[in-house]
């Protein structure tokens, strides 16, 4: 039983980290009272481990979903940046064209040709 427990704790730490396993072990019932059979303890430990694994899986999924959402947000921001750069280039080209046009008009008003 001790070997199984040690293996389960080691596997839990590997999969979910020591913090989660410690939380589960802290919540585990004490088996020092009389009347708890070995098979009942095994069932209780197995149930606790299943709860731990389920919680770890839920947290992993939640974390992966957060990462995916952040990656999507970054991609959207990159698209927005590229669009804004294109707009800036277009505005700069328009500004240059307008500057040349204004200079040509000013030259015509002054009576000189460009």
- Asked if residues 31 and 45 have their Cβ atoms less than 8 Å apart, the reply is no
114: pLDDT strictly greater than 60: no
Q: Which of 4-8, 14-18, 38-42, 105-109 comes out lowest in average pLDDT?
A: 4-8
Q: Is the pTM of this model over 0.85?
A: no
Q: What share of the chain is helix, strand, coil (3-state, %, to 5)?
A: 85, 0, 15
Q: Decide which of 25 and 87 is more confident.
A: 87
Domain boundaries, the chain: 2-81
Each residue's pLDDT tens digit, 55-113: 999 999 999 999 999 999 999 999 999 999 999 999 999 999 999 999 999 988 888 65
Q: How far apart are CA 1 and CA 69, in angstroms?
A: 43
- Asked if residues 41 and 1 have their Cβ atoms less than 8 Å apart, the reply is yes
Q: How far apart are CA 70 and CA 92, in angstroms?
A: 33
What does the pLDDT read at residue 7?
A: 72
């Amino acid at each position: 039983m001790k070997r199984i427990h040690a293996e389960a704790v080691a596997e839990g730490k590997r999969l979910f980290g020591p913090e989660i396993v410690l939380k589960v072990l802290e919540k585990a019932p004490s088996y020092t009272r009389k009347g708890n059979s070995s098979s009942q303890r095994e069932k209780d430990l197995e149930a606790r481990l299943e709860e731990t694994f389920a919680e770890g899986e839920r947290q992993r999924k939640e974390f992966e979903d957060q990462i995916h959402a952040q990656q999507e947000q970054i991609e959207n921001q990159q698209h927005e940046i590229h669009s804004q750069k294109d707009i800036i280039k277009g505005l700069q080209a328009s500004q240059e064209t307008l500057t040349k046009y204004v200079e040509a008009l000013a030259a015509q008003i002054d009576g000189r040709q460009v």
